[in-house]
Amino acid sequence: MALSEHEQRLLDQLEQQLHADDPKFASSMASSPQRTISTRRIVIGALMTVAGILILLLGVANQIILVGVAGFLVMGAGVYYATSRGKGSESAPMPQGIKTAPVNRSGGFLSTLEEKWDERKREQP
């Protein structure tokens, strides 16, 4: 469900306030395409994991220890590959164009939220 224009503006203001109050936390929570795990890596990792399980079962069924160990290693590599982020994501830059709102240090973040909530209630009939 899409947000209304008013809700989108409030969300943008909250985001700007967060960036102004705690830029380190805000940059760590920012979602960018470089910082997310890709679907392709998940699919390939899952296929590697399934192949590793099959190799492990083959080794156990035939009582060949080396084949079982190899299957376990392939399985572990598949899980690692699926959950890792890739090469280009270690240093994702902070998104440009984020404007910081003026910070009201007297009341803090919660009082600003309360003021916005009260303003929103006054606007509704």
Please write the tens of the pLDDT for every residue from 63-104: 999 999 999 999 999 999 999 887 754 444 444 554 544 544
Domain boundaries, the chain: 36-84
- Strands in 5-103 per DSSP E: none
In the prediction, which pLDDT does 90 show? Answer: 47
Res 12 pLDDT > 90 = no
Q: Cα–Cα distance between 39 and 123 in angstroms, integer?
A: 43
pTM of the predicted model as reported, rounded to 2 decimal places: 0.46
- Cα separations (Å) of 76 from 53, 70, 84, 111? 10, 10, 12, 49
User: Nearest CA to 112 among 123, 124, 121, 103?
Assistant: 103
| Residues whose CB falls within 8 Å of the CB of residue 117, separated by 6 or more in sequence, listed in order | none
In the prediction, which pLDDT does 122 show? Answer: 81
Q: What is the DSSP letter of 36?
A: S
How many C-beta atoms surround the C-beta of residue 80 within 10 A? 12
Contact 101, 17 (CB under 8 A): yes
Res 33 pLDDT > 80 = no
Q: Cα–Cα distance between 68 and 85 in angstroms, integer?
A: 28
